[in-house]
A and B are shown apart, each in its own frame.
Chain A
Amino acid sequence: MKDNTKNILEIDDLHTSFFTQAGEVKALNGISFQVAFGEAIGIVGESGSGKSVTSLSIMRLLANNGKVTAGKILFEGRPLLALDDKSMQQIRGNEISMIFQDPMTCLNPVYTIGNQIMEPLLLHQNLNRKEARVKAVEMLGLVGIPAPEKRIDQYPHELSGGMRQRVMIAMALCCQPKLLIADEPTTALDVTIQAQILELMKELKEKMNTSIILITHDLGVVAEVCSRVVVLYGGRIMESGTSEDVFYRPRHPYTWGLLRSIPRGGERLVPIEGQPPDLLNAPAGCPFCIRCEYAMKICKEINPEFTLLEEQHQVACWLLHPQAPSVERGIN
């Protein structure tokens, strides 16, 4: 059992749905995990797996038709879902910050970046304009933007993608939040810039002792930054554990598939066959069943419980049931 005081964030059996004209789409179907102080954990999954919805649920930034239907979210022991709007606003940008995928569209084009960075400072930290500006310049320098005193008065379209993402990071960290949620922060960037941004995030994590939730579909990115990994599929957790557990000792067929599909020079790409599940008419049983090459009868009917392997390593798969046949993990 996790010790309560070591965790900055605890998610317990979270269910989130979107209510559309066509019906209820169950984006999250019972997610539970914890983030310890100063820890970086990665949430991995394909589009539609529910990873972004998790972060939006935590920040309570779901679209109008989205709602958390069950579960608890505890931030430093405080139940986030019970807070009113005003209290939640005091937490956003201040104690929990978030950065998003596409830096090109995430900044307001008609205000200077200085204006936008200073907003959370003026709001949450009670600084006056002069102080806020000084701090903003400092943050820009911290994230590696050259000539920050000049850049601060520029507009977003005058900066490159990589620089804009740095601005986003500066904006997110300027109030020294305890938790940073990064939703696919490098997906829209060049590979070389990607590496720089990840480096930057690692540095800042050390310096400011910020916990990080890094959401991505790229296992390589996770390996760089995170000490723990959660693998999501179809709104449920398939496998979770330390990075070592998941990369070197994976036990879930989906994780095997993910690892297999990482492009390696000279080898053929091995994709996972099939399409992401239809969350509108979610089937009973394991969400991965249809695409799983080891699927058994029971997989179709009943959703597997978690089996605890090593200390932090959990897997939700019927293959780990003592009665299940032992299988050869696929092509390595």
Chain B
Amino acid sequence: MENTTIPSLPAEVFVKLSSNEKTENEILRPSISYWQDVWIRLKQNKLAMLGLYTIGFILLLAILGPIFSQFSYSDQFLDKQGLPPNKTFWFGTDTLGRDMFVRVLYGARISLAVGFVATFINLTVGIIYGGIAGIIGGRVDNIMMRIVDVFYSIPLMLYVILLMVIIGPGLKSIFIALGLVYWVEMARIVRGQVLSLKEQEFILASRALGASTWGILFKHLIPNAMGPIIVTVTNSIPQAIFTEAFLSFIGLGVSAPMASWGMLASDAVSAIRSYPHILFFPALAIAITMLAFNFLGDGLRDALDPRLRK
């Protein structure tokens, strides 16, 4: 067996290390909470932030814009019909001489209101329904979900249309119709979350400490299910806006002279040959809003995914 000469080393290097000395240089990454991490990740996503700012901007315009305009949405200037954009009328005028810019802003109010209110209703009903189904489980859950399945077997849009036919047109009817139908999506998500969370250990611990079923549901399960709930909400808002626009297109929307974006687009179709700009601006508004929510929704979904956590 060969024995290469082993160089002699100073005796002190063979002194034993204390445990402090061992861990001295260990670089420990600071631990941050889940939500902090989510926010950081979201901020890095440029598209999502663009979406967020755009939505904020549109909201601002919708709330404050009409106040600063000299026109109201129903003022008609019959001598100024169908004008393309100019200095007075930034978006031009429609076939009845109304200012398109103000009408688009009012449209923003209505469309966004529909989006937020309908989604809020869906959120509430969905959380309660899904939460109950999830936490009670068993036969109750089975029956509740069968009902949801029947809902899902035909497109939800059909239900909305039927309801609108029965209730009659108008903004309130739209809130009711959308609220009564689209909660099923939220219910499914919440139920799924509750089911998977309720078997986890922190719930067991909570029960062992004497917490009631309802307490557990509202204090623990639902807050922990917030991730998917938030993503669903961000997708429900543009869906509601789209549905309202769709309804307007087939004649079931808000009544004139009130104008949602859908109404504006619907009116504009007949005038498309002569006055294309009447369609352009509402269509652009819808497209931008939907895109903004879409980017934000995608970004949120990625940011909330615990598997992507660094």
A69 to chain B, nearest CB (A): 22
Instruction: Find residues 1-39 in chain B having any chain A CB closer than 8 Å to their own CB.
Output: 1-2, 6, 8-9, 11-17, 21-23, 25-27
| B87 interfacial by beta-carbon distance below 8 Å | no
Are A296 and B1 interface neighbours, CB within 8 A?
Answer: no
Residues of A within 8 A of B310 (CB): 21-22
Are B15 and A323 interface neighbours, CB within 8 A?
Answer: no
- In whole angstroms, how far apart are the Cα atoms of A160 and B16 in the complex? 52
Residues of A within 8 A of B13 (CB): 296-298, 301
Are A295 and B6 interface neighbours, CB within 8 A?
Answer: no
Checking B2, B6, B16 against A294 with a beta-carbon cut-off of 8 angstroms, the contacting residue is B16
Q: Select from chain A the residue with minimum beta-carbon distance to B24.
A: A300
Are A296 and B14 interface neighbours, CB within 8 A?
Answer: yes
Are B22 and A289 interface neighbours, CB within 8 A?
Answer: yes
Q: Give the most central of B9, B12, B17, B310: most A CB within 10 Å.
A: B17
| A325 interfacial by beta-carbon distance below 8 Å | yes
Residues of A within 8 A of B6 (CB): 321-322
Interface residues of B toward A: which range?
10 to 19
Are A318 and B14 interface neighbours, CB within 8 A?
Answer: yes
| A308 interfacial by beta-carbon distance below 8 Å | yes
| A58 interfacial by beta-carbon distance below 8 Å | no
Residues of B within 8 A of A289 (CB): 17, 22
Residues of B within 8 A of A281 (CB): 27
B50 to chain A, nearest CB (A): 22
What per-residue 1/0 map shows which CB atoms of A278-292 lie under 8 Å from chain B?
Answer: 100101000001100
- In whole angstroms, how far apart are the Cα atoms of A193 and B145 in the complex? 41
Residues of A within 8 A of B12 (CB): 297
Are B22 and A300 interface neighbours, CB within 8 A?
Answer: yes
A196 to chain B, nearest CB (A): 33
| A324 interfacial by beta-carbon distance below 8 Å | yes
- In whole angstroms, how far apart are the Cα atoms of A300 and B23 in the complex? 10
Instruction: Find residues 19-63 in chain A having any chain B CB closer than 8 Å to their own CB.
Output: 21-22
Mark B residues whose CB is within 8 Å of A. Answer: 1-2, 6, 8-9, 11-17, 21-23, 25-27, 310
Can you sample 14 A-B contacts with CB below 8 Å?
A21-B310, A278-B27, A283-B25, A290-B23, A290-B26, A294-B16, A297-B13, A301-B13, A308-B2, A311-B1, A321-B9, A321-B14, A322-B6, A325-B16
Mark A residues whose CB is within 8 Å of B. Answer: 21-22, 278, 281, 283, 289-290, 294-301, 308, 311, 318, 321-325
